[in-house]
Amino acid sequence: MSRRVLAEPRIGRTALFALRAGVLIGLLAIWHLGGRFGFLDPFFFATPIDVIARTWHDLGTGDIYRHLWVTTIETLLAFAIGTAGGIAVGFWLGLAPLASLVLDPYIKAANALPRVVLAPIFALWLGLGIWSKVALGVSLVFFIVFFNVYQGIKEVSPVVLANARMLGASRRQQLTSVYLPSALSWVFSSLHTAVGFALVGAVVGEYLGSAAGLGYRIHQAEGVFDTVGVFSGMLILTIFVIAVDAIVSLIEARFLVWRPDAGGRPDAA
């Protein structure tokens, strides 16, 4: 019995943008009408108009940029260090079966640790500066990238690998021409998730103890029951993650230009 493969729907960019905008407008309309007719208490849920107005005001006054810069630095450092470490260790254990078997339970145990519990420990070790937030972000990003890279190495086609060896490919050529292309798709798949987790690590660290950053701003607003300020901070975080994820998508499209699309044709350059 043959299996059906669901193909990606064909839709133009303009139509896709219109549909996405429609979903956003619909959600904002439900939120606004819920507050207007008393289903959602504005004290607890704010209103979309107030949140957008506060965000516009904060972006116009300029004070928010200092906090955004701190969070950006922490996020990028956590993302870069966690990604580099995850790729390096993933390749190493993927190509070293004995080391993988020995370290497997320890890696799983480390991944099982709740990161929120580690945040105070990192603050104790590294202080309340940016590095405790970076360490928390790295602890989140590393395992996401590591497991994807490790799986990507394991998914290498044995036929392709055998052909490369038969043609006399050296260990280095096998790594760059067989293992790396196989892992790239897994790497970029993990990076989209890792961006969000790097930001989560930075913001949670700021929330628990800091003097600057978007997490610090949200914590301040929450402390005085400023619901509009909390939602405004969340909106800025959302915009930031979408922007960084778009950059990752552009890099992915550049490096994976050879990858076939749903129709079996290579992506357009």
Tens digit of each residue's pLDDT (9 = 90 or more) over 165-219:
776 666 666 666 677 777 777 787 788 888 888 988 888 888 888 878 888 888 8
| CATH homologous superfamily of 62-255 | MetI-like (1.10.3720.10)
Tens digit of each residue's pLDDT (9 = 90 or more) over 93-121:
888 888 888 988 898 888 888 887 888 88
Higher pLDDT, 16 or 10: 16
Ordered by start, the domain boundaries in the chain are: 62-255
Q: Is the pLDDT of residue 42 over 80?
A: yes
Long-range contacts of 106-113 (CB under 8 A, 24+ apart): 107/143, 107/146, 110/143, 111/143, 111/147
* Cβ neighbours of residue 111 closer than 8 Å, sequence gap 6 or more: 143, 147
Total count of residues recorded for the chain: 269
Torsions phi, psi for 9 (to 5 deg): -65, 140
Nearest-angstrom CA–CA distance, 269 and 260: 12
